[in-house]
Amino acid sequence: MARRKVEEKNYPELIEMAEERIEALSAELKQEKANLKQLKKDQVRYDAMVEKQRKQAEVQKAAELLVASGKSLEEIEEFLAN
């Protein structure tokens, strides 16, 4: 089995630099995970808001059609009941 030749380097400094880089990457990963979690929460709230706005628009449209029809609420209820 061939052995790899070991070069003369400042190993303590290289090790320290590698450890610092790993620490920085770990902190960045932690921040990205927190960001992702917040984005998922925001998406749920946004989807609920869009659905609520859609329902409000439907109710508004129904009210406009009701007024435009010229019929009374009782007439419309009777029509829908049949």
pLDDT of the residue at 22: 98
Position 64: which residue type?
Answer: E
Q: Is 7 helix (H, G, I), strand (E, B) or coil?
A: coil
Phi then psi for residue 28, to 5 deg, are: -65, -40
Upper half-sphere CA count for residue 58 (Cβ side, 13 Å): 6
Match 């630099």 to its residue by tokens: 17
71: its two tokens: 């019929």
**Extents of the domains making up the chain:** 11-81
| pLDDT greater than 70 at residue 13 | yes
pLDDT value at 4 more than 90:
no
Q: Is the pTM of this model over 0.75?
A: no
DSSP 8-class letter at 40: H
